Structure 1
């Protein structure tokens, strides 16, 4: 996966072979949000936006662990309008939302990552990659967050 955007606005974390990738990805995202002045948050809107990003990173990385054979990389790309989150994994199959009905896992934990993405992301999707796929999503930048600075 090539790096896109300027280095101060694009952070890339290689996850191939890493352990505890969900925690590692959340910590990485938290550091990026701090560098981009999303944290510490001054308003409730900014706190909610940062919390949503950390939850979304956790969900998309966990989904790659459960359904994609493990994540290869996490890319965060921030500008004044939005934050784009991308996670690559080795499974070319696109994610499939959990459906209600016969065979549904009622009362069982899990299976709601895509529903969370639908709810919190401004938009999301997938694209095929050379060794699997990329799941991407975008969230709007809070009004008070402007001009990300270099790491």
Structure 2
């Protein structure tokens, strides 16, 4: 199915799609370019792409695969939503197993997102995350790390 776009909102149907993580990253990158999310600094867009990758990969690994990806952009933030068929809410591991790869996905989401959570659906759940727009003024974004 073709992606749907309405202004600064875009959705992608993922059911039955192969290579969902790559397709979602490409879809998100195209939206960020169209919305001029990144005027000068690629770091913020790379954070968005990493966050999308982690949430979609978690749906692939733990929830039978993602159903939809929704991106909603305002002047203040970008909201990312991924739905799946599993009603169980994800929980970050306090200590991923260092002997095995993986286990850091939600810790990465917690680090990148301003806030994130889940919403129960009649037939699964929605995992969402919000990221501050890099176009906001520093005062509106709150304290920023001091660079040396």
TM-score where L is the length of structure 1: 0.83
Higher relative CO (Cα under 8 Å, sequence separation at least 6) belongs to 1
Structure 1 residue 48, shift from structure 2 partner: 1.3
1:122 aligns with 2:114: yes
Q: Runs of 4 or more off by more than 6 Å in structure 1?
A: none
- Note the C-alpha offset of 1:144: 6.5
**Unpaired stretches in structure 1, ≥5 consecutive residues:** 1-5, 146-151
The yes-or-no answer on 1:139 pairing with 2:131 is: yes
Deviations 1:7-63 (A, max 9, x none): 11110000001100000000000110011012xx4433xx11100000000000000
May I ask how many residue pairs the two structures share in their alignment? Answer: 133
SS at match of 1:58: helix
The answer to whether 1:69 aligns with 2:64 is yes
Coordinate RMSD, CA, aligned: 1.6
Q: Shift of residue 67 of structure 1?
A: 0.6
CA distance in 1, matches of 2:91, 2:104: 10
Structure 1 match to 2:99 = 107
Question: Pairwise mapping of residues 23-102 of structure 1 onto structure 2 (< 5 A)?
Answer: 23-38=22-37, 41-44=38-41, 47-100=42-95
